[in-house]
Amino acid sequence: MENRPDNILVEQAARGDGESFTELCRRYYGPVVAICHAILGDRHLAEDAAQEAFAKAAVHLPELRRADQFGCWVAAICRNEAKSLARTRRRPRSENDASPTETSLNGDETREAVRMALSSLSPDAREVAYLRFYDGLSYDRISAVLGISEQAINGRLRRAKRKLAEHLRRQGFDEVQL
């Protein structure tokens, strides 16, 4: 089951195989939570949004036109879900949240400054940064979720890092000279 390509799992799930669908969820849970986290800035809300996104994917799976595009499709659903959640409710942050806006609880100024810098990025740039550094996702996996080439991901990530470096320099971190 774990080695089967996405399109096979999607075909099987669409024929009523629940285990194939949960394997797809397991496979894309990390990237989907990363995308939601980039939008919501809250780990727990991100997980809630990801689970809702998979519920919607389960219901609308027969509408997926290209089985090999599941990652991209579920990412689009989770973006909508996260944006909708961001509009409707804001949950009190916990200390495990990696929010770019929260005040530092552990005194690590650098980490806080990096989170602030991340929040200043465009949504696309922030999303690619979260995907890359959330769980060390490979370019190949990021490509499956964003639906863009690895070169495009590399370019987007480099631009994001350059902006982060600029932001950090303005905050007094002179060691970043990208």
Partner 1 sequence: MSERKDERWLDEQLRRAIDVGRPEFDAEAWKREHREAYQAVLSRRDGDGRGDTRPHPFRLFANPLFRSAVAATIVVAAGLVLWTTRPNTPEQVERPSVSRALVSSPTDIVTFMSLTMAYRQGGEEALNRQLDAALETLGPRPDVSLLNDVLNDLEG
Residues that bind partner 1 (CB under 8 A): 10-11, 13-18, 21-22, 25-26, 29-30, 33, 37, 43, 47, 50-51, 54-56, 58-59, 61-63, 65, 67, 96-98, 108, 110-111, 114-115, 118, 129-130, 132-136, 161, 164-165, 168, 175-178
One-letter identity of residue 50: A
Sorted by sequence, the CB contacts under 8 Å of residue 143 that are 6+ apart come out as 149, 150, 153
Least Cβ distance, residue 130 to partner 1 (angstroms): 6
Least Cβ distance, residue 15 to partner 1 (angstroms): 4
Q: Cβ closer to partner 1: 25 or 82?
A: 25
- Rounded CA Rg of the chain: 17
Residue 171 DSSP SS3: coil
Joined together, the tokens standing for residue 34 give: 């990363």
Q: How far apart are CA 107 and CA 70, in angstroms?
A: 41
Q: Cβ closer to partner 1: 51 or 69?
A: 51
Least Cβ distance, residue 30 to partner 1 (angstroms): 6
Least Cβ distance, residue 42 to partner 1 (angstroms): 11
What separation in angstroms does the CA of 123 have from each of 9, 120, 142?
30, 9, 15
Sorted by sequence, the CB contacts under 8 Å of residue 59 that are 6+ apart come out as none
Q: What is the DSSP string of 90-111?
A: -PPPPTT---SSSPPSS--HHH
Q: Cβ closer to partner 1: 135 or 150?
A: 135
Least Cβ distance, residue 74 to partner 1 (angstroms): 12
Least Cβ distance, residue 73 to partner 1 (angstroms): 14
Joined together, the tokens standing for residue 70 give: 């599941």
Q: Cβ closer to partner 1: 40 or 67?
A: 67
Q: Cβ closer to partner 1: 133 or 147?
A: 133
